[in-house]
Amino acid sequence: MPLDYTSVLLLSPKDSTLVTYTLTNEDGEYQFKNVERQPLLIKATYMGYLPVQKELVLPETGDLEVDEIQLMPILQELYEVVVKAAKAPLMMRGDTLEYDASKFKVPPGATLEELLRKLPGIQIDKDGNIVAQGEQVQKVTVDGRRFFGGNTKMATQNLNAESVSKLQLFDDKSEQSKLTGVEDGVKEKTLNVELKEEAKKGGFGKLSAGMGTDGRWTANASFNKFDKVNQFSVIGYGNNVNQSGLSWDDLQEFKGSSAFQYGDTGDFGFNGRGATNYISFSGGDNEESFEIPFNNLNSGYSNNQAIGINYNYLKDKKDFNSNYFYSRSDQSLESFNSRTNFLQDNTSFTSTDQSSQNNMAGHHRVNLRFQNELDSANTITITAKGRLSSLTTYLASHQELIRSSTEQSQMDRNNQSDKWSGAFQGTAIYRHKFKKNGRNFAASISDTYSKADQNGIQKSVVDLMNSTDPNTYFRNLDQLNQSLNGSNLIKSSLLFVEPIKKYFSGRLSIISASHRAKQTDKYMMWNRATPKS
């Protein structure tokens, strides 16, 4: 009987180093192309069978047709002994291609990336991404855990090659499919790194800084530490080059295994897209967002600082994720606008506006998440998020209106605004998978409370040059505004999913209920005077 996916290796007779490899097709056939004519060994290995190895004598010209290789099943009592004695550099285990890291030699102190460059079938592109079997590797896990979020380069460039025991390459299910049990046809090329027992703890960090002209500077620092069940990371940055968020890679590195969580909102019927959940990202330092900002470039001239701490606990079927992040920004904006309108009677109007604005913002964010797989069918997820923000804005401007070289009016404004806002969101989700593959049930409840208070002062002086009424030469505005806002939103919903076909399922949002309480109070005090000349 033909054995498909049998590993067929060409080795050097001197030291048994791997020259090249291939896998058999469904008919047990294989082919090597462009092989250098030299003494070779051919070795065939398959899980549960005795490996076979023999010498090859290549002809001086033409191709070589190798005789059929017969593999014999291993007796159960001898299986472990044979596997240890005849360990191959790589072999197929079901749908997983497994590499034995000890069979590929790299210099002392080499990184995992350098080891990957030695593996047949794997390449590293110019950007440091892993390409395996013609596809880009989307996930790198360590001992089955996603320690580095979606940042594959963080794992390959920081793990030591000497600490690696095995490398396993396979197509993993999407996070949605794992959660719901419904096959969605989406596969993610995944590389799992198995560490040696003595290497299952470690740490790494990085520090970068730069200076430029006009007093420009930037600095970033981070440190990560992990063991079998714990992950700890701290990150900080400061600059005056308008960068007010983390880079995408730094965000993944900082959050680690908590970088991606699917379906934590519990919005089975409230998101306006039926029962489909999407992963969304916040790109700026938005005071309304619970998420850590990333890749945000401010306009104007800003001075920014931030610090964050993240801790993840991963053991058995229990995951706990937590992080705190504080960011502040001092932004200056200066602008000058001039606009001229030409009329048919050869007259013109010119308006100019010169302004200077300063925004000072500070944001505290806390995120907690606990997930417990009670058993293979039942999962509970609890999340808590909080934010506290302050924003102070100063604006000074001068406007002029000129008609045919004659000044008509001018206005000076001085405004100030102080805003404080805070919010808390708690969500609990229960999921159950039925015995029928793809059929599942979910229930959620969440409460979001937010409060925002704002005080503002508006002052302006208008000078009307051509006014014929002496009492209206000047107009003053001195106004105090106060706004108090608060809201509380409670939501609950039930979801039932029934598979119809392999990659299609019917979703029914059974109950979606919400209650919102909102209060807004606005106060205004103003004094408007028109002094006489």
Residues 512 and 484: beta-carbon distance below 8 Å:
no
User: Where does the chain hold its CATH 2.60.40.10 domain(s)?
Assistant: 1-88
- Whether pLDDT at 198 is above 60: yes
pLDDT at 256: 64
Q: Which two tokens stand for residue 218?
A: 């930037």
Tell me the two tokens of residue 79.
Answer: 């299986």
Distance separating the N- and C-terminal Cα atoms of the chain: 109
Q: What is the pLDDT of residue 385?
A: 93
Region class of 85: left (phi > 0), else alpha (psi between -120 and 50), else beta = alpha
Regarding pTM above 0.75, the answer is no
Residue range 228-271, pLDDT digits in tens = 788 888 989 999 888 877 766 677 667 665 555 555 666 665 45
Question: Which tens digit of pLDDT belongs to each residue from 394-416?
Answer: 999 998 888 877 767 888 889 99
State the Cα–Cα distance between residues 417 and 456, nearest whole angstrom: 4
The sheet carrying 7-11 orders its strands as: 18-23, 7-11, 40-45, 52-56
Tell me what pLDDT residue 80 has: 52
CA separation for the pair 171, 4 (Å, rounded): 18
Q: Cα Rg for the chain, rounded, in angstroms?
A: 33
More confident residue, 150 or 126: 126
For residues 511 and 97, the model is more confident at 97
Cα distance between residue 275 and residue 204, in whole Å: 41
Write the DSSP symbol of residue 199: G
- Average pLDDT of the chain to the nearest whole number: 80
* Range with lowest mean pLDDT among 16-20, 43-47, 154-158, 247-251: 247-251
Residue whose tokens read 């945000």? 296
pLDDT at residue number 182: 63
188 vs 172: CA distance, rounded Å: 5
- Name the least confident of 302-311, 370-379, 511-520: 511-520
Query: Which residues lie across from 22 on neighbouring strands?
Result: 8
Rounded Cα distance between 271 and 290, Å, is 17
pLDDT in tens, 156-196: 887 888 989 999 988 887 766 666 666 666 788 889 998 88
The alpha helices in 159-313, defined as continuous H runs, are 175-180, 248-255
Residue-wise pLDDT tens digits, 418-428: 999 999 999 99
Tell me the CATH architecture of domain 1-88.
Sandwich (2.60)
In one-letter notation, the amino acid at residue 443 is A
* Beta-carbon contacts of residue 197 (< 8 Å; ≥ 6 apart): none
